[in-house]
Structure 1
Amino acid sequence: MNTTIRIRLSLMMFLEFFIWGGWFVTLGTYLANNLSATGSQIATVFTTQSWGAIIAPFVIGLVADRYFNAERILGVLHLIGAILMYQMYHTDNFDVFYPYVLAYMIAYMPTLALVNSVSFNQMKDPAKDFSSIRVFGTIGWIAAGLAISYLFEWDSVTGISQGFLQNTFLVTAIASAVLGLYSFTLPATPPKIAPGVKASVTEILNFDALKLLGDRNFLMFFIASILICIPLAFYYQNANQFFSEIGMANPTGKMTIGQASEVGFMLLLPVFFKRFGFKATLLAGMLAWALRYVLFAYGNAGELSFMLITGIALHGICYDFFFVSGQIYTNSKAGDHQKSAAQGLITLATYGVGMLIGFAVAGLITDTYTHANGHGWQSIWLFPAGFALVVMVLFALFFKNEKIEYKA
């Protein structure tokens, strides 16, 4: 790949995930402290990610794939996002905040697919080139967390008490505007389907992949993917608030250890996959979810802080060994003409349906164990730990092991 194009795509990925990590990690803490939101209200806000993920295929299938260049839609959506994020920055009322964050997520979630489309369109060998560009997205997420904790100290006790977390929305609005304008300079990525070409609604929305559910093994994996997102939602929704409430210093910065481990375990994944197989890899990922929540339940910000850090570092196993392995498995099960549709189906199942249920459950459990002095975090974390274990056992019993070829 041309070096200039590689740098430009890498910057696009950096900004794309800097934007997401720049406000989403601290969202639960902000809502609880700045807007006095309950657990159920916080869950309602987090479910906007799921609604965005559910609506995204319609945006991509009906608009991006048929009428407009992907880089132009990317630019427009991020400019809209910048305006919405700026409105969130000025909002101090939950009822006013919610419509803005819902509209923002509907605009943002399709961009995750669009940056991939822009990247793939410039690659002769995506299997070789994509990971080295996508990693800059993880670096962008890490940079956002480090800036919040160590550069600005917005998530410190003083920063939270003085409402400085609100500034994350302003920084994100600026970054969104920058990426929005920058997107119009990216290499052209024309529609995949000519406007005059007729296609069924099923083809446009990538629903052909539903046929894969007729395969018993894939159906078990599909169900497990939805269910494991319930414990995943607890991490996204509660982790930063939990670390802040128990007095962990620089919680947002320390949570970037999870993204760093994600990069490391990504390198180990082919070795584990080849040696132990797909089923064992997914089971290891599920077990890691349960273990991390047990560590959160019994750790503290003092002498047992190593338990919290270990739990954060397990994110690499939790995410890579289940979700990345799942993408590989899905790719192997789909036919050549169904690969994109199949990946879209799994994204819909996880970030859409699974997380939608997960955030609702997390909000309900959090409210159940909320008291005058804070939260009963041990009880809160033991619920997703137990749930992950149940999902792991069911998957072990009902999924028949099969050999999957790993292609890096």
Structure 2
Amino acid sequence: MRSSLTARPDVNLLRLFTFTVYGTTVLVSSYFPLFYAQLGFSSSQIGLLYALGPMISLFSNLLWSLLSDRYRTVKRILILLYLGQIALTFILSESTNFSIIMAVITLFYFFYYPVMPLTDTIAIATAQKKQVNFISIRLFGSFGFAFFAIVIGYVLTRVGASNTMWVSIAIASISLCFALFIKDQPTSVAKLNLSGIWGILRQKELLWFLGCVFCLAIGVRMNDAFLSITLHELGAGENIIGWAMLASALSEIPFFIILSIYGDKLKELPLLILASLIFAARFLLMGLTHSAYGVLAIQLMHGLTFGIFYVTAIRMLTRLIPDEFRATGMAMYTIMWSSLSGLLSGTFGGIVFEQFGRENFYLVAAGSALLASAGFASRYLHRKQPGPQG
């Protein structure tokens, strides 16, 4: 076995890659909507464009993850995904027509959405092989999100929202460079056994878990899609939006660290119940505030909500799904957390925001988080056969 000192370069390269991956996430989630608004698109049109990504990711996540498991590679798939992103972002930078942008962004999302579950997949595999904590790698995603949130905000304040796509090309190119040098972590099974996946999907605990994740994700994706629009309505500029992203990213770091040390001593379902309840409170406050700086303060709750939820959900998922189906399992989780929920929240959320206002929009988001909390609680209270974890 190689020493930890010799193995460290592989882990550090993956940390740097994870750091840059989240730069594109900042742009897509927070600054692409402003780019659309700058082109004169309505809230319902922006909601539709946001919903296209989750719709495409329903099959793109599974397709690329199945290919990853089938051909035992994550690295080569990531390189292909970034090449596709860069080419399509260039086309977006030259487009202003809604129909053309809708067509191109559909293709862009085909290459964008699978990056996150595959990045988590290679990080989990590397952490296990090198005997380091997965969170010690994932933390660099939070650092990257925080760094790019504030830097991109100030850059776009200087160069204008019309140059959003060129900033995206620059960040994706940096990620591609790191992807070329990270070490691949193939799965233990060369050929994917689809009957094995069907057996996994028949697990009642997994289905219940994914259903609750879907309910919670509806509110989370509604907030993600319209956070920058909300701040813009409250008079915030691109730099304030960057500070909001920074606040949320930094707030999750201490919770990642605490849960990586003590999380295994706590039962999973109570933590998921707690995170869902705090999500509901967060969305209620978002609907009540009338200040951009109030939104900044509320964003600090992100650590309690997403920080607790993400670490616990990944821990539960790795317990429920065998290692040989890791990429596909992460894709299934992402479909619920981003794809199906994003499809519904983008189309339905855009209509609610435009027709009924921000207050009612966030009431709906809070209701979905409360429903998820009730689902996790019912599973915890009525589970007949207690497992090794709560």
- Report the TM-score, using the length of structure 1 for normalisation: 0.82
Q: CA deviation at 1:348?
A: 2.3
Contact 1:82 1:176 in 2 (8 A): yes
Tell me if structure 1 keeps the 8 A contact 2:16–2:178: no
Give the partner amino acid of 1:261. Answer: S
5+ residue gaps, structure 2, are none
Q: CA deviation at 1:388?
A: 2.2
Is the 1:77–1:180 Cα contact (8 Å) retained in structure 2? no
Equivalent position SS for 1:147: helix
Distance in 2, matches of 1:188 and 1:93, equals 40
Q: Which residue of 2 aligns with 1:30?
A: 35
Are residues 124 and 230 of structure 1, via their aligned partners in 2, closer, same or farther at CA, if it must alter by over 3 Å? closer
**Root mean square deviation, CA, Å:** 2.9
The correspondence for 1:86, drawn from 82, 85, 90, is 90
Say if 2:191 is the partner of 1:186.
no
Aligned match of 1:7: 12
DSSP 3-state at the match of 1:248: coil
Looking at structure 1, the residues matched to 143 and 90 of structure 2 have their Cα atoms a distance apart, in angstroms, of: 24
Q: Is the 8 A contact 1:71 1:184 kept in 2?
A: yes
- CA drift of 1:354 comes to 2.5
Partner residue, 2:140: 136
Cα shift at 1:148: 2.3
Matches within 5 A, 1:349-368: 349-368=336-355
Q: Secondary structure at the match of 1:24?
A: helix
Taking a change above 3 Å as real, the CA distance of residues 125 and 83 of structure 1, as seen in their structure-2 partners, is same
Kindly state the Cα deviation for residue 312 of structure 1 after the two structures are TM-superposed: 0.7
Cross-structure match for 2:118: 114
Q: Where does residue 246 of structure 1 map in the other structure? A: 234
What is the SS of the residue equivalent to 1:128? coil
Classify 1:338/1:389 alpha carbon distance in 2 versus 1 (closer, same or farther; 3 Å): same
Residue of structure 2 aligned with 1:322, choices 293, 309, 315: 309
Higher helix share goes to which structure? Answer: 2
> Deviation string for 1:13-57 (max 9, x for gaps)?
1221112213431222322x2232233322222223322253222
Q: 1:210 aligns with which of 201, 211, 230?
A: 201
Structure 1 residues 68 and 220: CA distance shift in structure 2, 3 A: closer
Indicate the structure whose relative CO is greater, using CA pairs within 8 Å and at least 6 residues apart.
Answer: 2
Query: 1:380 maps to what in 2?
Result: 361
Structure 2 CA distance for aligned equivalents of residues 209 and 116 of structure 1: 20
Separation in 1 of the partners of 2:291 and 2:322?
49
Q: 1:5-404 to 2 correspondence within 5 Å?
A: 5-31=10-36, 33-50=37-54, 51-61=56-66, 63-67=67-71, 69-119=73-123, 122-123=126-127, 125=129, 128-153=132-157, 164-189=160-185, 194=190, 199-202=192-195, 206-212=197-203, 215=204, 217-248=205-236, 250-269=240-259, 277-301=267-291, 305=293, 307-335=294-322, 341-369=328-356, 376-400=357-381, 402=386
The question of whether the paired residues in 1 share the 8 Å contact of 2:353 and 2:360 is answered with no
Provide the TM-score with structure 2 as the length reference: 0.85
Gaps of 5+ in 1: 370-375
Paired with 1:275 and 1:4, the residues of 2 have a C-alpha distance of 31
- Provide the C-alpha distance between the structure 2 equivalents of 1:189 and 1:328, rounded to a whole number of angstroms: 19
> Within 2, Cα distance between the matches of 1:354 and 1:6?
32
Cα distance in 2 between the residues matched to 1:218 and 1:336: 15
Native 8 Å contact 1:292 1:310 kept in 2: no
Amino acid at match of 1:366: F
Q: 1:389 to 1:68 in 2, by over 3 A?
A: closer
CA contact (8 A) 2:201 2:207 kept: no
State the Cα deviation string for residues 280-326 of structure 1 (Å, max 9, x = none).
21121111111112211221227xx3x42332111122213333322
Larger mean Cα displacement after TM superposition, 265-274 or 290-299: 265-274
Residues 265 and 64 (structure 1), Cα distance of their counterparts in 2 relative to 1, 3 Å cut: same
